[in-house]
A and B are shown apart, each in its own frame.
Chain A
């Protein structure tokens, strides 16, 4: 009990929030000299959030909340690196203040040059450059205009010459190499994570040294998330599956390795000494400083001996899991359009549905070694419409704690998968 209290006091001291000096170029801890990402970055994964600045207000007080999506990393010193999806980047740029873009340090390289370049590509010819020049002759190049937009000095909405490109932005994949160069840096982002894009999801609380022992370290290993069709190889729609009533099986598995928290406990040796007596103390020993009578008092001195390493495997348990399947827009269009032309009254029966908890529950737990797992097996899903289904899974974790002290915030993780469902169509042969 006494030891636990001591450890807690020590941890509170160790975990007190520091203010980091940014003497070097902060990008130097994000990228190695060869341009690759520094392996010491903590990969916080992808996170999504509904934000006001991406909301479409509808009549009658309704709204459609589009989700902002980011991939985030945390640096050793507590800075945060945020990589927004293409559509998120667009909305961040045109809402620089509200989105927090204005608070970012700058893009890698020449200011926001990369971001301006990408924005130019995303918007393309939909920026009415003639109108911009007419109203603002001070901008000689589109780059100057975009720079003013990002800095919150220029409104852009008056200068679009089309509208549908905004709807199509969300189909630009985050994996598209062209858009991979946009990294936003938030200095000391871990301290102000509630105001960050993506907030505090999975953020590791920064640690400082005791100056006696090495500073504690936290290692987060990437979670393994899988959502996939298990069998059969070619699932058929329910109407053509009447004999076997096989449907499709989808498997979900999540493995979250433990957060490795390594901290060092200073170990002291005690020895008896004779120290100088205070004014109110009665001397009972000789300090050996040359006095012929007792001039000191007996006491115990703590002498630093070593740093004892403690490695904790902290479980980050799954606390919620939801999974859905939705027929993609191309398949929906095919059913209504192409199939509808040859098959009378072809229509969508059930294009989106909940897998978990809709069709099956999930279960999970953590092993003694700190590894947490969760899984669900959704068997014999009676799929009614043929085509490609987008499988999506959202999970939330508990975060990690040690001796009552939070080490990492809860994580929000997302994983996509695909499932093809087939239909056999009669062919007329001559």
Chain B
């Protein structure tokens, strides 16, 4: 493994390992007190396994050895099906030792390994004093919570939406003007409407969780990062009760830790510098969440040195977000061991945009930096402006609509139509052209919607139909690859409106493609799908592959991998881990092989499971290559990928 990548990834690994160890300890304590749930042992095993994998790839042999020892013991416990109480102590000690090793202050921890081996031995002659951990209903903290697959809630939402439409039809049948009826009918209709509103809210609420559900560990993480850098920083949480779509929230933990790390490492000055600048010795980082209409704004603000003035002046017209998210951009003038900037703000931006959100950055030299993630409150509801073009209805997310103007005089700039608006020239385009639809010519004076996606653009349509809060429905797996849409919705009259993706509208992708003279298609770099549940390993692999010129898509587990594979057009190879939640690497390989469309896709399994059995299983399910994380070698990986893609 090249050291260039090491320095960048060791910090990420450290954060991830610490986070894993936090849950590890919590889980062991829960097992000890009999309040653990059925998946507790699996969760412990995965924590140890992930730490082992990451450590192996980064060449941290002591960490790897200890994590391996823990994993071995847990593998036996898993077989046993019950958790022996006397194992809690050595496991907790192992967690402490791992934490010290990860921080670089621990040694080989031979005594801990011995204790584990002892616990291991005692497992074999184990019989009584076992805690039945499978769904143990012991203890006072019995929770009446159930896990429901998201699809079931979506189906419920579909049905609520249908019921709303049904109600409107019923109202129509009863004869448009309600006042013709006696009061009792209209009372009942009003009552029904209120019930339906409540029902819709209740269904949507099931999809949301408060920010506090992921924020608990953040103050500790900030304190640890600060301590390591010799800084004094306090994290304050504001608005932690703010609710957000569960799917989005669960994916936010990693990006937030990154933003916090950046704030501490690059924002907050050393105590000496702060004193010189007349600031309090203790730096402050505030993580706040607030609802802004249909969006939730999550802000990480520090009172540090801000972005250097020369960076601000370098921006030259580009926004601060654009400058800071250029791949590999770093504001640290000196490289500290925490400056893992290669997977910095650009990754966070991509992440936010994948949920139709956006990123805002404000910074003032000497005063501090504020980074705001704007995310939809729920993925199920969207406020849109409905417009019509060529007899079809489209929805534009209201969050990115700046204003609506009527097109009278159009200008031309560099051969492209533009609109003059209060002294600014904004590119102008027909909605039909942007989407690739055919439609009759636009009338003079048609309305133009000023859409601010990645770029600002005036989108012209036939007429506006008004604002509406709509239920977002997926276009389904088969149409998922058709870019440019966030989904579709069903309107009050039963018609379907496609919901346009404002970021894609602005990039005017299609019209440009059409305008290009027919010639040999550009050869794009092959795309590799990296499926890996460890953030460290995933980003390390991404960075290695991207550095070698590949395009990379990542997925968090096998299920996510299959989704991505369905959505991404031209994946040329899959690189997958084995041990993952939801769907493991073997199952993923099987599914990919079973689908005729992807049956011949090259698959490389990279894992720390390196027994012959596993190897055989990997080959049996149809993997093309099997690489061990233990002997992970960047060059070997690239050679294997290149050979299989045939580049």
Bound together: no
Q: Which residues of A contact B (CB under 8 A)?
A: none
